């Protein structure tokens, strides 16, 4: 067990090194910082609640570009290992495919969290510069964005375990959008008046990630109190959902023909 954890940690470290060499990562990070900075100019167009506009735009920038980094950088990592044939060298050593997938996932997740920390720091500094309140609710909301990205990285890892980067990107984006709308899908199904439609909508809601559970933007921007359960329950859900996806990715990858 200890040896396995050490191998996974080594793979995760190598994945971080591989990911931070991606030009796409720095491009997305740059535009995320630009969007946060320009939120000040956007807020100046309004004479009321300009501080809230700054924080609304900031949260949107962090979520959009964090998801972009998780998906568009992440889906190519496994494919690159196969294309460069370095995967065959790794698997010839005492490294299982499960360990390979787990290492790739953790390495990408750590990379995404580093970018999240950079964007969050810029967001806090801009908020302080315009006099917007920086409260515990704000940090709780940022923490749940990190949990949401944990799920998105797991989604990207799952699809990249068996298909091309292009298809993996499209499917990951599709699941992300559907996950953001999963509660609306459930409500539409329940309001349709048709039993079959309602059952299908509920089944879809159970399968899709409930990404709305990680969104505390409204509470953070308006300074509303956030209960411990509003943070801990989504966090536990995110960990469980991610773990299931990573295990599914490892199961699929174990059965993939790499020739």
Spell out the per-residue pLDDT of the chain, length 259, in tens: 777 788 888 888 888 888 888 888 889 889 999 998 888 777 666 666 677 888 888 899 999 999 999 998 888 777 777 777 776 677 677 778 888 888 989 999 999 999 999 999 999 999 888 888 888 889 999 999 999 999 999 999 999 888 888 898 999 999 999 999 988 888 888 887 778 888 888 888 899 999 999 999 888 888 888 888 999 999 999 999 999 999 999 898 887 766 6
Using a 10 angstrom Cβ sphere, with 0-12 exposed, 13-18 middle and 19 or more buried, the burial of residue 89 is: exposed
Within-domain flag for 205: yes
Neighbours of 29 (CB within 10 A): 19
The count of structural domains within the chain is 1
**Cα separation values, 133 from 118, 119, 165, Å:** 19, 17, 41
SS3 label, residue 223: coil
- Does residue 108 lie within any of the structural domains? yes
- Rounded to whole angstroms, how far apart are CA atoms 172 and 185? 18
User: What size, in residues, is the chain?
Assistant: 259
Q: How confident is the model at residue 212, as a pLDDT? A: 92
In-domain check, residue 95:
yes
Q: Look at residue 134 in the predicted model and tell me its pLDDT.
A: 85
> Is residue 259 in some structural domain?
no
Cβ atoms 220, 55 nearer than 8 A: yes
Query: What per-residue confidence (pLDDT) applies to 18?
Result: 82
The pTM for the full model equals 0.91
DSSP state of 208: S
Range of the domain at 70: 2-254
């Amino acid at each position: 067990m200890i040896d396995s954890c050490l191998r996974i940690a080594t793979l995760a470290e190598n994945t971080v090194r591989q990911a931070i060499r991606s030009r796409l990562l720095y491009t997305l990070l740059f535009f995320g910082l630009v969007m946060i900075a320009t939120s000040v100019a956007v807020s100046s167009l309004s004479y009321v609640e300009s501080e809230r506009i700054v924080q609304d735009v900031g949260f949107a920038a962090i979520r959009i570009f964090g998801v972009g980094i998780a998906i568009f950088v992440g889906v190519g990592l496994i494919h690159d290992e196969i294309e460069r044939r370095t995967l065959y060298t790794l698997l010839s050593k005492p490294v299982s495919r499960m360990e390979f997938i787990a290492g790739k996932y953790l390495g990408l997740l750590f990379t995404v969290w580093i970018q999240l920390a950079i964007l969050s720091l810029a967001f806090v500094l801009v908020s302080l510069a315009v006099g917007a309140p920086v409260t515990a609710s704000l940090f709780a909301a940022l923490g749940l964005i990190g949990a949401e990205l944990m799920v998105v990285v797991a989604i990207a890892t799952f699809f990249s375990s068996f298909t091309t980067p292009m298809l993996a990107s499209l499917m990951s984006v599709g699941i992300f959008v559907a996950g953001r709308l999963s509660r609306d899908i459930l409500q539409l199904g329940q309001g349709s008046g048709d039993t079959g439609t309602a059952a299908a909508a509920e089944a879809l809601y159970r399968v899709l990630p409930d990404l709305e559970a990680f969104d505390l933007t409204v509470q953070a921007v308006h300074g509303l109190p956030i209960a411990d359960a509003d943070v801990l329950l989504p966090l536990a859900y995110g960990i469980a959902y991610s773990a299931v996806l990573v295990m599914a990715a490892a199961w699929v990858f174990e059965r993939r023909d790499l020739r």
